[in-house]
A and B are shown apart, each in its own frame.
Chain A
Amino acid sequence: MEVILLKKLEFDKITIKTKLYIMLILPISFILLAIIIDTPTNIVNGIFKIIVHPDILITDYIKVGGLGAALINSAILTLVNIYIIWKLKININGPVISAIFIIMGFAFFGKNIFNVWPIYIGGYIYSKYQKTNFKNVILITMFATALSPLVNEFAYGLNLPIPFGILLGISIGILVGFIIPPLSAHMIRVHDGYNLYNIGFAAGFIGTVIMSIMKSYGFIVENKVILSNEYDTLLKAFFTIFFLILIILGFLFNNRSFKGYKRLIGFTGRLITDFTQLTGFGLTLINMGLMGLIGILYVIIAGGIINGPVIGGLLTLAGFSSFGKHPKNSIPILIGVLIGNFLITKEVSTTILVITGLFGTSMAPIAGTYGYFVGILAGFIHLSVVMNVGYLHGGINLYNNGFSSGIVATILVPIIDAFKKED
């Protein structure tokens, strides 16, 4: 007889403090880079422009406020979130790394130091209302900043008197922050964990309802694509170095080896697959770095350049590589999107193609569970769906690909299941 008493162990040998330091590498690098390439006056003016500019998809903050301001905006948001994580004594696990990276990435196109906080206040009020610890909902709240553009749209987009508009925008943000924790937990059952950007799916529905109501009262959505193209080489070099640093750090933490990586790519990636716990922090960093490099390679193959939205795609890809994504389950999605681009007749801009692929890896668990062919099929379908669902929420849901992926996963998984002969 083998009796095992399992007492809850420490997370792993690497301390939370060390993990926090690693999380600080990129935001601090952003600050240093901003100081080198831009002047303080430009940065302050740029941040102001970012704050007052409407944020619906796709608004590249590098174009709106300049690279320096976009970097500082991202750094501030990331540092504040890391501070919250530290203050609430939350371990740096896969979901937390993903949340930090998604905020860091989307702070280049939609999330800024003004429009995210109402959602946090809403989450906090929800936790007090339900008499639970804010720690329990902080993760959902961080992801829920997908709907931050709502705050700006109500504040500046309705042509209301500015103070009233700002108050209304903040109130709507608080309301969204309040309702999203129960909604997101519920929506996860719809796709059974096959869409990693679950909040994008939930936020897509919320955004659709809100935008439908707004349109009923005469609100007109202005489709816009504001993109920068000046810093491609600099950003490629910067992020390549960062991803290489992640691989080197991971190698060192993993006893100076890549041992165990074969096991990591054996996981399907379906929610919840937390690599920090299943394989250790070192291998997780290796996977994140490697996936980041694959992301950059994909940008080059697709003929794209690195701008705000693509930074968002790369950092989200790397972040979720601590929580389900790896080369084996993500590359089929990328291939599917590229094949789709060749076969569809509608013209797709390179940036749209690039971010559709990068964010489309949200469906990596489908490829991980059902194989390469189904993964490629998912990516192929996703390209068509993602170009149409944006209309529903008018671009106020930043995780448009998460919404599309949720729809594709919800449809595709039961169909594949219907063709399986076993139970």
Chain B
Amino acid sequence: MKHEIKRISKILDELITFCFLHGTNNMNITLENHKDYFKIHLESDNIDCDDVRVQKLKEFLAYPRQSEVEEYYWELAGECDNDTELTLVGMMVDRAEVIFDGTSLSITLYRNK
């Protein structure tokens, strides 16, 4: 897809904004560029995992990938600092894993090329 690198950056931007909005003090991000897919892994502390908005993360990231919606709206990801576009992130990835462990949150996203 056109602007593939920028799209990955936008997904990261959105995840970082989400963690900041929910109180993180420490974030670790790794990004792997594989032959067929990108893997984005994020670990964050101090997140209130019982917060309804955090719990919604599972629902939003579970959305099926929708390339036609992505093509039109991808530039919105990471653009707003008081709202999130996690539904858009869900539509931009093929697989997501979320781990809640106390106040720690781990997110792993896979985006096929």
Residues of A within 8 Å of B67, CB to CB, are 133, 135-136
Residue of chain B at shortest CB distance from A273? B87
Q: What residue in chain A is nearest B63 (Cβ atoms)?
A: A277
User: A3: CB under 8 A from chain B?
Assistant: yes
* Cross-chain contact of A184 among B49, B72, B80, B102 (Cβ < 8 A): B72
Distance in angstroms from B91 CB to nearest chain A CB is 8
B50 → A minimal CB distance (Å): 10
| A278: interface (CB < 8 Å) | yes
| Residues in A whose Cβ lies below 8 Å from that of B80 | 192-193, 270
Residue of A nearest to B1 (CB): A132
Encoded as 1 (CB less than 8 Å from any A CB) or 0, chain B from 87 to 113 comes to 110000011111111100000000000
Quick one: which of B58-76 are within 8 Å of A by CB?
58, 61-76
The one of A1, A136, A184 in contact with B99, judged by C-beta atoms closer than 8 angstroms, is A1
Q: Does A262 contact B (CB under 8 A)?
A: no
How far is B105's CA from A5's CA once the two chains are assembled, in angstroms? 13
CA distance A400 to B111 in the complex (A): 37
Q: A6 with B58: in contact, given A139-B68, A139-B71, A140-B72 (CB under 8 Å)?
A: yes
Query: Is B65's CB under 8 angstroms from A8's CB?
Result: yes
Judge whether A13 is part of the interface by a CB distance below 8 angstroms: no
Q: Looking at the complex, which of A75-83, A88-96, A161-169 is the stretch in contact with chain B?
A: A88-96
Q: Give chain B interface residues in 15-73, CB to chain A under 8 Å.
A: 49, 58, 61-73
**Distance, CA A11 to CA B62, complexed state (A):** 10
Set of chain A residues within 8 Å of B81, measured between Cβ atoms: 423
- Which of chain A's residues has its CB closest to B21's CB? A423
| Distance of A6 Cα from B107 Cα, bound (Å) | 10
Q: How far is B72's CA from A278's CA once the two chains are assembled, in angstroms? A: 19
Chain A residues contacting B95 (CB-CB under 8 Å) are 6-8
Interface size in chain A (residues, C-beta < 8 A) = 45
B83 near A4: Cβ-Cβ < 8 Å:
no
Say how far B62's CB is from chain A's closest CB, in angstroms: 4
Closest B residue to A189 by CB, please name it.
B75
What is the bound-complex CA distance between A401 and B76, given in angstroms? 21
- Inter-chain contact B83/A369, CB cutoff 8 Å: yes
What 1/0 flags go to A176-198 for Cβ under 8 Å of B?
00000110111011001100001
B13 within 8 A of A: no
Q: Is the CB of B64 within 8 A of A185?
A: no
Would A93 and B66 count as touching, CB distance under 8 A? yes
Known: A2-B99, A2-B101. A135 touches B68 (CB 8 A): yes
A132 pairs with B2, CB closer than 8 A: yes
Indicate whether A90 sits within 8 Å of B68 (C-beta atoms), given known contacts A130-B2, A270-B83.
yes
State how many angstroms separate the Cβ of B23 from the closest Cβ of chain A: 13
Bound form: Cα–Cα A287–B66 in Å: 23
A37 CB–B CB distance under 8 Å: no
Distance (whole angstroms) from the CB of A68 to the closest CB of chain B: 34
Give the chain B neighbours of A273 by CB distance below 8 A: 87
Cα(A369)–Cα(B73), bound, Å: 19
Question: Which residue of B2, B71, B87, B98 is within 8 Å of A272 (Cβ)?
Answer: B87
Whether B58 lies near A91 (C-beta < 8 A) is no
What are the residues of chain B within 8 A of A182 when measuring CB–CB? 2
Q: A60 in the interface, Cβ–Cβ < 8 Å?
A: no
Chain B CB within 8 A of A44 CB: no
Distance in angstroms between the alpha carbons of A77 and B13 in the assembled complex: 39
- Bound complex: CA A10 to CA B81 (Å): 30
- Say yes or no: A4 contacts B58, CB within 8 Å: yes
Q: A272 to chain B: closest CB distance in Å?
A: 5
The docked-state distance in angstroms from the alpha carbon of A189 to that of B74 is: 10
**Given A1-B100, A6-B96, A272-B85, also A138-B68 (CB < 8 A):** yes
List the 6 closest pairs (A to B, CB-CB), nearest first: A2-B100, A6-B96, A1-B101, A136-B71, A6-B62, A8-B64
* Further pairs besides A1-B99, A136-B68, A277-B87: 8, Cβ < 8 Å: A1-B102, A2-B101, A4-B97, A136-B1, A192-B80, A272-B69, A274-B87, A423-B81
- List 25 A-B pairs, Cβ < 8 Å: A1-B99, A1-B101, A3-B99, A4-B58, A4-B100, A6-B61, A9-B62, A95-B69, A96-B68, A135-B67, A137-B68, A139-B71, A139-B72, A140-B72, A188-B75, A189-B76, A192-B79, A193-B73, A193-B76, A193-B85, A198-B72, A272-B76, A272-B87, A278-B87, A369-B83
**Could you list which residues of chain A lie within 8 angstroms of chain B, going by C-beta atoms?**
1-11, 90-91, 93, 95-96, 130, 132-133, 135-140, 181-182, 184-186, 188-189, 192-193, 198, 268, 270-274, 277-278, 369, 423
